[in-house]
Every structure is written in C-alpha cells, then in structure tokens.
Amino acid sequence: MGKKLEGKIAVVTGGSAGIGLGIAKAFAADGAQVFITGRRQEELDKAVAQIGHGATGIQADASNLADLDRLYDAIKAKHGRIDVLALNAGFFEFMNIGEITEEHFDKTYNTNVKGLLFAFQKALPLLPKGASVILTGSIAGFRGIPAMSVYSSTKAAIRSLVRAWIIETKGRGIRINVLNPGHTSTPGFNNLLPAEAHAGVIATIPLDRLGTPEDHGKAALFLASDDSAYVTGIELDVDGGAAQY
C-alpha cells in the first residue's frame, strides 16, 4: 500500500514541539518531504532528529513577516511548491479580564492571527492545484474558557478567515480546513497546568483522557491527503468529545 503523501512537499509552522511535531512526524512517516519552523534552533534540531525521513528545520518566528519570506524563498528555491501547508504556530497564556495587557494582546494576535494570515497569503503563489492547507484552531474558538478570552478570540478569527478564503480561492483547486485540538498533553499545556490539575480536565472529556500530538497528526494526515479530497472549509474537532460536554 502506497504512502499517502509520497512525493509531497509539506510545511509545518511551529513544528518543533507538541501538536506541530506530531503533525510533522505523521506527514514524514507517510512519505512527505517535511519542513518545520520554530523560533529556537536547538529545539528545531532536536525535532528534526525525531522526525527523521530527511526533514528540514528552518528557524523562523511565525509572527515575523521577514522570517516568513525567508522560509518561502528557501522552499521555492529548493522545490518550487508547497503541497501541504500546516499553519500550526500559536501562542497562549492565561490572563483574566481586568488584567489583560497590551503586550499579552499583541503577542497573541501577532502570532495566532497576523502571522497565520500572512503565512497563508505569502504561500499562495507556491500552492499548486490539489494543495491542502490546514490551520490549527482550537475548541476554545467556540467555548468559553476562563482566563483565555484573547486566545479564544484568535481561534474564532481563524474560523472566520477560512470561510472567506475558500470562496476567494475558488477555482485554484486548493482545500483549506481547520483542525481543532481539545485538551492535549504537550509541553505548553503541562507548563500552564500542573499535573495535579489534569484529573479535573480529564473529567470533562467523554473519552476520559487527554489528547496526544499523535492523535492530531493522524487527523492532519487525513486533511492533508486525498482521503479528504472533497473536504474543504470544515472544522475537525479532535477533542475526545470535550466540546460536546
């Protein structure tokens, strides 16, 4: 049985840890030539070693437009196209209303909305017919979560952008979908929420466990491959049923 992404060029932003790393591993294992981005070179090098399959790491800040240009210039020079674009880089931290700072707002929106928007727009010339674009949203985009109002609003923005983009790109033959993770065991999640608090979160998940980066990698592989050839503009909730709780 052939690999689903054999010969495909895939880019995963924020691919050096957590969900992005899980997505990159899944793409590479199924035949893609994978490029990942991250802000810290040391983390990138470790991730590339874990991904294997000839993966390449390119140091880039997803909120920096010059870094995005450098990323795409490198891929254009080497391959001339991007078949699968997973825009996963994101930033989150807790901050209650009444305490929200301009720095918190700007940092969250610059990465999660501005960076994502321009990462998609700048990639357009490299996306051939049949390309798949996967944006990492969150169930927080439609659920109220205390101390995460700014983050949640950025994820809702992603959903709105996609609704317009699938219409604006009509005729190009590309697909754009949103992958919505639920509560997932990642370094970022574990840093924000101590282990003793995990049981309370798991109690709200019908499948009775936290998600894993591998869970999201499998879902992203579906959206990246021809298995979802007639799927565009959707939100795929990968959350153990938490959004229905």
Q: What are the helix (H) ranges across 94-242?
A: 102-109, 116-123, 149-168, 187-192, 198-202, 213-224
Decide if pLDDT at 192 tops 90: no
pLDDT digits (tens, 9 = 90+) for 199-216: 999 999 999 999 999 999
Check: CB of residue 30 under 8 Å from CB of residue 3.
yes
pLDDT digits (tens, 9 = 90+) for 104-124: 999 999 999 999 999 999 999
Check: CB of residue 131 under 8 Å from CB of residue 110.
no
Average of per-residue pLDDT across 156-173: 97
Out of 91-105, 169-183, 192-206, 215-229, which region has the weakest mean confidence (pLDDT)? 192-206
Decide if pLDDT at 86 tops 90: yes
Average of per-residue pLDDT across 186-204: 86
Check: CB of residue 193 under 8 Å from CB of residue 5.
no
Average of per-residue pLDDT across 42-51: 97
- What are the structural domains of the chain? 9-244 (3.40.50.720)
Q: What is the mean pLDDT of the chain?
A: 96
Q: pLDDT value at position 144?
A: 86
Decide if pLDDT at 231 tops 80: yes
SS3 172: coil
How far the first Cα of the chain sits from its last, in Å, is 38
Q: pLDDT value at position 196?
A: 84
Please give the C-alpha separations between residue 100 and each of 142, 152, 189, in angstroms, as whole numbers: 20, 14, 20
127 confidence band (pLDDT: 50, 70, 90): very high
What gap in Å lies between CA 105 and CA 133, rounded to an integer? 26
Judge whether 72 counts as a catalytic residue: no
For the chain, the 3-state helix, strand and coil shares in percent, each to the nearest 5, are 50, 15, 35
Say which of 72, 151, 230, 245 is annotated catalytic: 151
179 confidence band (pLDDT: 50, 70, 90): very high
What gap in Å lies between CA 127 and CA 179, rounded to an integer? 19
Please give the C-alpha separations between residue 208 and each of 10, 180, 186, 188, in angstroms, as whole numbers: 32, 18, 17, 20
Decide if pLDDT at 64 tops 90: yes
